Structure formats: structure tokens, C-alpha cells
Chains A and B, each alone.
Chain A
Amino acid sequence: MLRQGGTPLLQSLIQNILNALQWGSFYSLIALGYCLVYGVLLLINFAHGDIFMVGAYISFALSMFLLGKYGGIPGLPGWLVLTLAVPLTMVLTAVVGVTLERVAYRPLRRKGVNRLYVVITALMCGLILENGNLALFGASRKSFPTLIPTRVYEVCGVTVTNIKLMVIAVAILAFLLLHFIVTRTKIGMAMRAISYDRFAVPLMGIPADTVIVFTFVLGSGFAGLAGLFFAMTYPVIDPYMGALIGWKAFIAAVVGGIGSIPGAFAGGFLLGFVEIMVVAFFPSTFRDLIAFSILLLILAIRPTGLFGVARWTKI
């Protein structure tokens, strides 16, 4: 017999915290990608939010195919589809991210042009992905198929679904994995070193390009993962979904401190928390407005973010 614990206020608070954790998980997963690329290239990959969108669409196509909805193969059971979709989505999304890097960013890096041009290119690539999707597949939103039945648990008056729990677990696992890679592996150290001294890293035995590709693989892979789980949680996907969420995740990364992995992660959850709280008190149309205003405020007061480290330029 479950004990009826806690007051309604406490229950409501815990409910909101859980929602915030789940909502923030998406931001965190995507924010990690921004953070990694910035940490390595000192570039804000404005196309990253749209990589998330591409990931969602890839997971959609994969799931539909594996479930047999397109013909071709007899449908597989939902849980198997999910198990296959996770690595496949990550890999395929990583491919998209790396392609972007090689086709658009690397040639500019080779030429040693003004960083501004790369930033512009990133912004434009994002728009191409969005509008390309819209142009090729039309404006109709796609409905993501149910892969596993939603099970609702109720604990002490707080409801939570199995999917919600999965999302939070995945985000935490991703963070731990990333933290391990960056602090314990050689390539992780190279990732941290490269933004300080691009030329020293190859002297350590790892080509700079390899490190950069690896960064994009990680970042895009996690964005793809976020895309899959987002599509499972909110089963309607459209070409512009990446734009706004991408921006929010970006805000989260900046708030946490864009060079810092724990910062980006914390920033994601923080932003999720703020948004859930805002919607509790204000009309939902204000949600984005307030999120962007918070961004400006934090940038004004503490431009390096909560955990970020300032870089000095020598006169």
C-alpha cells in the first residue's frame, strides 16, 4: 500500500521539478553539442539546432521503416525498434553533422578566413536545413509512431511516465559519458587543448582535423539522440522544430558558460526549470519572450555564464 505522503503544494513542486528535469534534458543534450564545438573551434554552430531537427526526422524515418510501415520488411516489435533506433539515429545524425563540417566549415578553416564568415555560414546552413526539409517534404507535420506503450507511474501523488524517466536517465548518462571522455581519454584532452593552441595538438600525435571531426560526431550524435526522444515524448515533428529549441538550448549553453560541459548541462536544466515555472504563472506565449530576456540579462551581468571562464587577450 502506497503511503499518501506530502502536502499538495509539495506534490505540485515535485511534479514541476520532474517536468523541468525532463524538459531540460532536451536542452542539455543539445547544449552539450554547442558547448563541444565552441570548446574546440571557438565557433557557435548555429546550425546545431537544426541537426537536432534532422535527428528527429531520421529517427522518424527509421522507426517507420523498421515498424514495417513503408513495406519492405515485416514490422519489428516496438521495443526492438527503439533499441535499434537509438544507435542508428545517433550514427546517421553524426554523419550529417560531420558532412556539414567537412563541406562548409573546413574549407573556410583551411583558408584561414575571418571567423565571421564561418559563423555566417553556420547560420545559413541551419536555414538551408530547415527550409530544405520544408521544401522537400512539405509543410505537413509528421506523427511519430508509438514505439513503446506509455506507462504512467504514480508515486506519492506525483505522476511520471516511463518515457519521462528514460529521457532524464539518458541525459544524465550522456553527461557522464562525455565527462569521462573529455577528462580521461587522450582525444578528450586533445579536445580541450585544441582551442588554446591548435598547432600543439598535432604535435601530440592526434591530427587536429580528427579531433574536430570527433567533436562533431559527439555533438551531433547527442543532438540526434535528443531528437529521437523528443519525438517520442511530443510525437509531432515539423521542419522548424529545431530552430526554436536550438535557440533555447543555445541560451542554456551560454547561461551555463559556453566553454564548460557541466555548465552547459546545468544550464539546460536551469532553463527547463525556468520555463516550467514561467508557464505556471504567465500565459504560455510569454515563455519564449522571457527565456530570451533572461539570456540578455545573463549576458549583461555575467557574459561568461555561470560556470564559464573568461579568456584574456594580450594587448
Chain B
Amino acid sequence: MALLDVTEMTQCFGGLCAVSEFSVALEPGQLVALIGPNGAGKTTVFNLISGFYKPTRGEIYFKGESIKGLKPHEVTARGIARTFQNIRLWFEMTVLDNIRIAQHHALGYGIFDCFLRTPRYMRRERDIEDHAMEVLERLGLREMANEQPRNLPYGVQRLVEIARALSIKPALLMLDEPAAGLNSADVDGLIKLIGDIHKDFGLTIWMIEHQMDVVMSLCSWIKVVDFGATIAEGSPTDIQNNPDVIKAYLGDDTI
């Protein structure tokens, strides 16, 4: 059974369709990419699946259940985590707190536990903190735990964002342009990191990316969109040689 099954997802604002009849079926353990020129609707696809917008038409199934119309925090609780094109960390909080807050879906205590500091509360808070530190450790960020992201270099901020998404223990990780703004050394590190976490955590990873070296070295399968519609999909070599893709990115020779 496909992990994520999207059928003919469409979102139109009046006459303009940002996404039109988008379909994809992701199997567990895949590492795939969504590419396309700027404004093609890629982030909108992610936003639709995250639950931030509701599709005008189409279906979205995750682990066999429909997630269409769920609120974003509910979608996340089901096991989909993501990062953003512009890093959306909480910059005036410690890195550790950034990770801890992502555990809201699995707090394990109620409001009264919180006020009365019951043993259950104390235990859960300890667990949350331990888990957060574990994730930071795994990404080599242990020393930054008490720093605020605004004081950290961009590349490290990106890592923190990925750590935050990982801490949710997702089945599907959606990365929106993870290499954006990184220098080449950081990009190499990122490629290695994504490869490692894909293997170690057994995740399904779906990324939007413009940097082709990242896509080609990591992804087994690529889907290309333009103007909200799919124009090609296949293995990296297929895509590289596909004339529609070339036209979409570089334009038509005939003017």
C-alpha cells in the first residue's frame, strides 16, 4: 500500500489553478524529488498536503486514511513532517525549545497535569527533553542546544529545522528546498545527511529542490511540474533527457 496517495489534487482560485490534477503515489522508503521552474506550484503542493490549504478537488490518502481537510497539526500528528523554503524556526527561543515544541502532538499530559506538576507531567517533560537532545546529538547539534537560532549560521539553522522535523518521528519527511542558500561545502554535508537519515531512520523523503546535483545524487525518481500540472516523471536520466522538461526550464527555441 502506498504511504502517500494523492489523486488528482487540484487547487484553483477562481479561474487560476495553482495546482491542477496532481497525482502521486509514494511507497515507504522512497527518496524522491519534485522539481519545476519557479512559480510552478511545488510549494503549494506541499501546503495542500500539509493541510494548510484545502484542495478544490482530489483526494489525499496517507497510510490508507484520508487526510484531506485535516488541520495542519493533525496532519503532522499522523506522521508527516516538513521544512520550509525560508527557514521558519522560532528565532527567539533556544534550539532545544524549538525541538521541544514540535512534540506538542505527543505531549502525553493534560492541562491539569501541567499546573499541578504531576509525576506524569514530570516524566513526560523529561522524556521530551531527552528525545530532543537525542535528535540534536544525531545531527551534531548538541552544543547548540541552548543557543538561539538567530545567533547561528544559516547552514546550522537549516540543520536545526531538519532536526525539528525529524523529532516528530515522521513516516514521511517533506523538505522544501533544503539546499537553498547553502554554500557548496554545506550542500555536500546536506547530501550526506539526507542520505544518512534516509537509511538510518527508514524514512520516506520527498524534496523540492532546484539544485540538480542534490536531486540527481539522492533521488531515485523525479516528478516535474509546471503551471501546477505534471509534465514529466521518471528516473533522473529520463528527466534529464526529456524535451518537455528542457522546454519548461529553458524555454522553446522557436520564438
Q: State the A residues within 8 Å of B (CB).
A: 315
B47 within 8 A of A: yes
- In the bound complex, what is the Cα–Cα distance between A180 and B47 (angstroms)? 42
How many whole Å from B45's CB to the nearest CB in chain A? 12
Residues of chain A within 8 A (CB-CB) of B52 are 315
How many whole Å from B89's CB to the nearest CB in chain A? 15
B43 within 8 A of A: yes
Q: State the B residues within 8 Å of A (CB).
A: 43, 47, 52
- In the bound complex, what is the Cα–Cα distance between A315 and B47 (angstroms)? 8
Residues of chain A within 8 A (CB-CB) of B47 are 315
- In the bound complex, what is the Cα–Cα distance between A315 and B52 (angstroms)? 9
- In the bound complex, what is the Cα–Cα distance between A315 and B53 (angstroms)? 10
- In the bound complex, what is the Cα–Cα distance between A247 and B194 (angstroms)? 56
Secondary structure class of chain B's binding surface, majority of residues: helix
3 examples of A-B residue contacts, CB within 8 angstroms: A315-B43, A315-B47, A315-B52
How many whole Å from A12's CB to the nearest CB in chain B? 46
- In the bound complex, what is the Cα–Cα distance between A315 and B44 (angstroms)? 9
- In the bound complex, what is the Cα–Cα distance between A315 and B43 (angstroms)? 9
Q: Which residue of B lies closest to A314 (CB)?
A: B43
Q: Which 3 A-B pairs have the closest CB atoms?
A: A315-B47, A315-B52, A315-B43
How many whole Å from B208's CB to the nearest CB in chain A? 13
- In the bound complex, what is the Cα–Cα distance between A315 and B45 (angstroms)? 12
How many whole Å from A307's CB to the nearest CB in chain B? 19
Q: Which residue of A lies closest to B84 (CB)?
A: A315
- In the bound complex, what is the Cα–Cα distance between A315 and B51 (angstroms)? 12
How many whole Å from B147's CB to the nearest CB in chain A? 23
Residues of chain B within 8 A (CB-CB) of A315 are 43, 47, 52
How many whole Å from B159's CB to the nearest CB in chain A? 22
Q: Which residue of A lies closest to B88 (CB)?
A: A315
- In the bound complex, what is the Cα–Cα distance between A315 and B72 (angstroms)? 13
- In the bound complex, what is the Cα–Cα distance between A315 and B84 (angstroms)? 9
Q: Which residue of A lies closest to B52 (CB)?
A: A315
- In the bound complex, what is the Cα–Cα distance between A315 and B176 (angstroms)? 12
- In the bound complex, what is the Cα–Cα distance between A315 and B11 (angstroms)? 15
Q: Which residue of A lies closest to B85 (CB)?
A: A315
How many whole Å from B69's CB to the nearest CB in chain A? 17
Residues of chain A within 8 A (CB-CB) of B43 are 315
Q: Which residue of B lies closest to A312 (CB)?
A: B13
Q: Which residue of A lies closest to B43 (CB)?
A: A315
How many whole Å from B74's CB to the nearest CB in chain A? 17
How many whole Å from A146's CB to the nearest CB in chain B? 57
- In the bound complex, what is the Cα–Cα distance between A91 and B53 (angstroms)? 49
- In the bound complex, what is the Cα–Cα distance between A255 and B196 (angstroms)? 56
How many whole Å from B62's CB to the nearest CB in chain A? 20
Q: Which residue of A lies closest to B53 (CB)?
A: A315
How many whole Å from A279's CB to the nearest CB in chain B? 43
- In the bound complex, what is the Cα–Cα distance between A315 and B50 (angstroms)? 12
Q: Which residue of A lies closest to B47 (CB)?
A: A315
How many whole Å from B49's CB to the nearest CB in chain A? 13
- In the bound complex, what is the Cα–Cα distance between A245 and B43 (angstroms)? 47
How many whole Å from A50's CB to the nearest CB in chain B? 35
How many whole Å from B21's CB to the nearest CB in chain A? 22
- In the bound complex, what is the Cα–Cα distance between A218 and B209 (angstroms)? 50
How many whole Å from A244's CB to the nearest CB in chain B? 39
- In the bound complex, what is the Cα–Cα distance between A113 and B85 (angstroms)? 25
